[in-house]
Structure formats: C-alpha cells, structure tokens
Amino acid sequence: MFHKEGHKIILITFVFVVLFVLLVDNFINISWLQSMLQIGLILVLILILQFFRNPKRHTELNDNQVLAPVDGKVVVIEEVFENEYFNDKRLQISVFMSPINVHVTRYPIGGNVVFSKYHPGKYLVAWHPKSSEENERTTVVVENQTYGKVLYRQIAGAMARRIVNYAKLNDKITQGKDSGFIKFGSRVDLFLPLDTTIKVKLNQKVRGGESVIAEI
C-alpha cells in the first residue's frame, strides 16, 4: 500500500524506468554494462516504492496517551521554551526520520485542531539545533479534554522539499490517522505539558501511530 502523495511520482518513475530499461536493452551491446544499468534503474524504482509505502498501523485509541507521529529515532528529550503558540516551557520530544523510514505523519492524539500554520524557511539538516525555528515547517496543535493540548511540528530537512499537512483549523480528528507527509526525510517535534510522563528514551526507535511517547 502506497501513500497518495507518492502516486504521481511512482507512476512517473515507473514509466521512466521501463523506457530506459528498453533503451539500454536496444542500444547498449556490452552485456555487463547493460546489466549494471538495468539493475540500477530497477533499484531506483524500488527505493521510490519503499519511500512512499504506507503500512497499516494498529492504533489503540487512548486520550491519556500521546503516540509517535512518525517512524524514526528519538533524538531530543528536553525542556524548552515554546515561543510560537504556548509561549511557555514545554517538554520537547523530537523524532528523526531517515530516508528509509515511513514518512507518513499521524495525529499523536485525537480531538480538535485548534491551530495549524505553515512557515516557509531554510533546509538545514534536520538534526541542526536551529532547524525547528528556521527550516520550512508546519505547526499543528490538537486538543482533547483528557490530555489537553499537544503541539507537533513537521520540519523539512536538507533533502526534503515539500511538507504536506492535512490538519485544518476546527477539524475533528482521530488519534493515529494520517495527518500529512514529508517528502524525502526530516523530523517531527512534539511539545508536551511539563507534568507529562515520558515513555521513551534517547535513540529509541518508534513507530508512528503505535509507540507511546508520553502519558498523563
């Protein structure tokens, strides 16, 4: 199963690969070079297919818990001052996605979207300390009556050139459902209340829509 954001790219890549495999077969007579080029083209298609995969996730809905919004590795757990929406101290949990991770973004909690904003910006590497404030990004805040408000921020990386965000103001959304996509690598930051209990550790690998990041 592939994400809808990849359908056009997958189709174009497939046509490109088939065309060039045929051209190589017809115009290159050196067998080892022919094989290398054809294998290389097929590998490109495989990489595109794996990047846009959208596996089903079994989300256990729980308003007391915050789930991982993406697949990846936890690279930041720290207390920070969040200056875009809350303007106070929050716990920041950041998940870094490599190009081989699933890049679907999922709602960390269910409830209502109370804030959603896109920011154009730079393309610093996703682990750069200033990427959260200077890179292209979107900021979304979801609120429910049990947990309160959770802010998550999609951040473009050095390779990413398009962030897709489906969250719209006043949307009623379900925990774990598709909230967007980041093309070709980056990270997602979560900003949580200080009294929340963190359930992950640095360098831990998490699965979007399934791994519990925090709970009340």
Report, as residue numbers or ranges, the catalytic residues.
186
Eight-state DSSP code of residue 2: B
Q: What are phi and psi of 172, to 5 degrees?
A: -95, 120
How far apart CA 147 and CA 193 sit, in angstroms, is 9
Cα torsion through 56, 211, 202, 161, rounded to 10: 40
How far apart CA 86 and CA 103 sit, in angstroms, is 27
User: 77-83 — which CB contacts under 8 Å span 24+ positions?
Assistant: 77/198, 77/200, 77/201, 77/202, 79/194, 80/191, 82/151, 82/191
Eight-state DSSP code of residue 136: S
Q: Name the maximum alpha-carbon separation found in the chain.
A: 68
